[in-house]
Chains A and B, each alone.
Chain A
Amino acid sequence: EEEGEKGTLKWKEGLQQKASEAFLRHQEAAPNLRKLVYGSVVEADDSEEDKEELGGLFRVSRPQKSKKFKANAVDCSRFIPDTSHNWDLEEMLNSIRDCFVTGKWEESQDAA
Chain B
Amino acid sequence: MASQGLVYDGCNFFRQRLVLSTLSGKRVKIKNIRSKDDDPGLRDFEASFIRLLDKVTNGSRIEINQTGTVLFYQPGLLYGGSVEHDCNQQRSIGYYLEALLMLAPFMKTSLKATLRGVTNDPVDPTVDLLKSTALPVMKKFGIGGDGFELKVVKRGMAPGGGGEVVFTCPVCRTMRPVQLTDPGKIKRIRGVAYSVRVSPQMANRIVESARGVLNQFLPDIYIHTDHMKGANSGKSPGFGLTLVAETLNGSFLSAEMSSTPQGQGDPVLPEDLGRNCAKLLLEEIHRGGCVDSSNQSLALLLMTLGQQDVSKVLLGPLSPYTIEFLRHIRDFFQIMFKIEVQKPFEDERKGGDKVLMTCVGVGYSNINKTLK
Interface residues of A (CB under 8 A from B): 30-31, 33-34, 36-38, 41, 43-44, 63, 70-79, 81-82, 85, 87, 92-105
Number of interface residues of B (CB under 8 A): 57
Residues on the B chain within 8 Å of A73, using CB: 10, 12
Taking A87-B282, A100-B218, A103-B349 as known contacts, 19 extra A-B pairs with beta carbons closer than 8 A to each other, sorted by chain A number, are: A33-B341, A34-B339, A37-B318, A72-B32, A75-B11, A75-B13, A76-B95, A77-B98, A77-B297, A78-B125, A81-B284, A87-B279, A93-B282, A95-B286, A95-B351, A101-B186, A101-B218, A102-B217, A103-B185
Does chain A have a CB within 8 A of B50? no
Give CA–CA (A44, B208) in the complex, Å: 47
Contact of B187 with A98 in the complex, beta carbons under 8 Å = no
State A98–B319 Cα separation when bound (angstroms).
Answer: 24
Query: For A37, A38, A82, which residue has the most chain B Cβ atoms within 10 angstroms?
Result: A37
CB distance from A59 to the nearest CB of B (A): 15
- B185 partner residues in chain A, CB cutoff 8 A: 98-101, 103, 105
Number of interchain pairs (Cβ within 8 Å): 128
Give Cα A34 to B327, complex, Å: 11
Q: Is the CB of B286 within 8 A of A85?
A: yes
Compute how far the CA of A90 lies from the CA of B217 in the bound complex, rounded to whole angstroms: 12
Q: What string of 1s and 0s marks CB contacts (under 8 Å) between B251-292 and chain A? A: 000000000000000000000000000011011111010000
Cβ contacts under 8 Å, A92 to chain B: 282
- C-alpha spacing A85/B36, complex, angstroms: 37
User: 4 smallest A-B Cβ distances: which pairs?
Assistant: A71-B10, A79-B319, A79-B293, A87-B279
The answer to whether residues A63 and B36 also contact, given A31-B341, A85-B286 and a CB cut-off of 8 A, is yes
Contact of B330 with A by CB under 8 A: yes
A103 to B248, CA, bound (A): 13
Given A95-B351, A97-B349, A37:B124 Cβ within 8 A: no
